[in-house]
Amino acid sequence: MARKTPTVWVAYSGAVSQADLEFLDGTERAIRLESAGWWAWLESVAARSFAYPLYDQQAGYIRGFMTVRKEQRQRGGKYWAVFRRCGGRVRKIYLGHSTTVTQARLHAVAEMLRGAAEPGGTDTPTR
């Protein structure tokens, strides 16, 4: 079965990185992270989740993906959280409202989770 979850792909050019959200089912064009289209998509009803790569720059490849999901709070309001299986357990890291889902924040959480999944890494990621 083909993956239908929108996926963020990050292109590195030296110290500069550029990230785009791609829709694999072909329904929409790619959206550049932190653009007006990105903020609008995060707030839309259609935006429920997306995948973000755990890229290992030393090895030169992707070690896996973390899933970023929008959830409804019991008291109202929607927020985003990251989910990733580490050490046989599913970890959840709170990201916050749509305005806090930035490329820098996603990269920082991905680095934390990638380090936790490596041998000798901490099994419990911290915020």
Q: What is the pLDDT of residue 50?
A: 96
User: In residues, how long is the chain?
Assistant: 127
Q: How far apart are CA 80 and CA 49, in angstroms?
A: 9
What is the model's pLDDT at position 36? 96
* Single pTM value for the model: 0.83
Domain ranges of the chain: 7-117
Q: 12-52 pLDDT, tens per residue?
A: 777 667 899 999 877 788 999 999 999 999 999 989 999 99
Are residues 115 and 126 in contact, defined by beta-carbon separation less than 8 angstroms? no
More confident residue, 19 or 114: 19
CA distance 83 to 69: 8
Q: pLDDT at position 33, please? A: 95
Cα–Cα distance for residue pair 69/82, rounded to 1 Å: 6
Helices assigned H by DSSP within 21-99: 36-43
Least confident of 14-18, 56-60, 66-70: 14-18
Residue 58 pLDDT > 70: yes
pLDDT of residue 124: 46
